[in-house]
């Protein structure tokens, strides 16, 4: 296993290099940069702009800038945000945690509901309940996350049950530590539901079809023939096998959630990586954009790696190296 992890980690290096180079190219192709708005400002003299240009290294050729940036990144320094004048590492560290919490929470939400609902639908195949759950699954898969966000915010406005948008209340800093956690949690409910719904719907459908497929398999029939109760067959034999693809999905799903989280953060005004990146993109804050993209890539790759490792640990039929050929 150690060899596999090392191999995969080494494999990540060219990937990350490629992605960062691509992002760098894109940012430099974009018309205008952070300074172009300052240049138009008559209150700022050209000399100051020139000085800033030199300070941020914006007057150097692209490849030099990229290599310098790369060198700094290897020393865990992501550069300085042009707009905030703070180290990018600090900015991202504070925001990435929020994004990861949001993504993990919505994953837990969708799993905790999807598995029992999927089992229930499969156990009552072709009944009204099954049809109803399938219908809701289709609705859940089709509703755009930002639209669901608007609908839930509207509901929250009307009922006052949940706070509308933001990561914490206005009076957050005056709360006791215990209440701070409660306040955070309160603000997390709506985004988690929004982000988790699509996953919930597709996982439920997957669970249902997995169980239905495995119900008629040889090992299930043998278990029945041995005189096990249908309950025991379902939970001890069918369910365990049905959970297999979920392990893989956990890693890849996390990656999707991180991307989805970015949009929801921007729409619901949550202090996460997505909103940070959006602001950075809008103001051509090169190093902040690069840092966020890098962070997102690393999170995604690590998620995939965890998924692959977990699958091998759970299912003895899969070996590490066969994963590569997939």
Partner 1 sequence: MTRAAVPESRTAKTQARRRGILAIAAHAGGLVAAEWRRASWPARASAICLLLFYLMAAASPVIAPYDPARQYRRLPDCPPMRLHLVLPGRGAPGLFCFHPMRMADPLARRMVEERTRWERLRFFYRGHLFSTASGAAPFFVLGSDALGRDLFSRIVYGARVSMCVGLIAIAVSFSLGITAGSIAGYAGGVTDNLIMRWAEVEMSLPSFYFLLALAALMPAGASTVRTFVTIVLIMSFISWAGLARVIRGMAAAARGLAYVEAARALGASAPRVVARHVVPSLLAYALVAATLAVPGFILGESALSLLGLGVQEPAASWGNLLAQAQDVQNLGRYPWILAPGVFIFLAIMSFNFLGDYLRDRLDPAQHGR
Residue of 136, 146, 162, 172 that binds partner 1 (CB under 8 A): 146
DSSP string for residues in 14-59: HHHHHHHHHHHHHHHHSSS-HHHHHHT-TTS-HHHHHHHHHHHTTT
The count of chain residues that interact with partner 1, using the rule CB under 8 A, is 53
Mask for 15-44, x = binds partner 1 (CB under 8 A): x--xx--xx--xx-xxxx------------
Instruction: Identify the burial level of 218 via C-beta atoms within 10 angstroms of its C-beta, where 0-12 means exposed, 13-18 middle and 19 or more buried.
Output: exposed
57 part of the interface to partner 1, by CB under 8 A: no
Which CB atom, from 112 or from 135, has the smaller least distance to partner 1? 135
CB 148 within 8 A of CB 142: no
Mask for 275-294, x = binds partner 1 (CB under 8 A): --xx--xx-x----x--xx-
Which CB atom, from 150 or from 232, has the smaller least distance to partner 1? 150
Closest CA to 252 of 189, 206, 215: 206
DSSP string for residues in 76-140: T---B-TTT-SBHHHHHHHHHHHHHHHHHHHHHHHHHHHHHHHHHHHHTTTSHHHHHHHHHHHHH
Minimum Å distance from CB 196 to partner 1? 17
115 part of the interface to partner 1, by CB under 8 A: no
Look up residue 287 and give its two tokens. 């190093």
Minimum Å distance from CB 235 to partner 1? 21
Q: In which residue are the tokens 């702009």 written?
A: 49
Residue of 136, 150, 162, 320 that binds partner 1 (CB under 8 A): 150
Q: In which residue are the tokens 């989280």 written?
A: 261
Rounded Cα distance between 29 and 32, Å, is 9
155 part of the interface to partner 1, by CB under 8 A: no
132 part of the interface to partner 1, by CB under 8 A: no
> Residue numbers of the site for partner 1 (CB under 8 A)?
15, 18-19, 22-23, 26-27, 29-32, 138-139, 141-144, 146-147, 150-151, 153-154, 157-158, 164-165, 209, 212-213, 255, 258-260, 262-263, 266-267, 274, 277-278, 281-282, 284, 289, 292-293, 296-297, 299-301, 304
């Amino acid at each position: 296993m150690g060899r596999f992890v090392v191999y995969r980690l080494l494999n990540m290096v060219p990937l990350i290099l490629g992605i960062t180079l691509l992002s760098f190219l894109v940012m430099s192709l974009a018309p205008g940069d952070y300074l172009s708005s300052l240049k138009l400002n008559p209150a700022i003299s050209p000399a100051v702009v020139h000085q800033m240009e030199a300070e941020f290294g914006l007057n150097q050729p692209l490849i030099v800038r990229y290599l310098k940036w790369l060198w700094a990144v290897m020393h865990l320094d992501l550069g300085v945000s042009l707009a905030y004048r703070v180290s990018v590492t600090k900015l991202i560290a504070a925001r990435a945690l929020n994004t990861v919490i949001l993504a993990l929470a919505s994953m837990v939400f969708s799993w905790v509901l999807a598995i029992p609902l999927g089992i229930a639908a499969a156990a009552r195949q072709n009944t009204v309940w099954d049809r109803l759950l399938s219908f809701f699954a289709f609705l859940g898969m089709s509703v755009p996350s930002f639209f669901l966000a608007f609908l839930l915010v509207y509901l929250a406005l009307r009922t006052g049950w949940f706070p509308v948008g933001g990561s914490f209340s206005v009076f957050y800093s005056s709360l006791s530590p215990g209440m701070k956690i409660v306040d955070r949690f309160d603000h997390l409910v709506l985004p988690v539901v929004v982000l988790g719904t699509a996953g919930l719907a597709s996982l439920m459908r997957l669970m249902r079809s997995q169980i239905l497929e495995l119900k008629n398999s040889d090992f299930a029939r043998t278990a029945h023939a041995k005189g096990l109760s249908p309950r025991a067959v379902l939970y001890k034999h069918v369910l365990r096998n049905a959970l297999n693809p979920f392990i893989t999905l956990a890693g890849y799903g996390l990656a999707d959630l991180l991307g989805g989280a970015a949009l929801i953060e921007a729409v619901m005004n949550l202090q996460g990586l997505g909103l940070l990146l959006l602001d950075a993109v809008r103001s051509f804050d090169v190093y902040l954009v690069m840092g966020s993209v890098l962070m997102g890539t690393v999170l995604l790759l690590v998620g995939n790696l965890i998924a692959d490792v977990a699958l091998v640990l759970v299912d003895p039929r899969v070996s590490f190296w066969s994963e590569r050929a997939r």
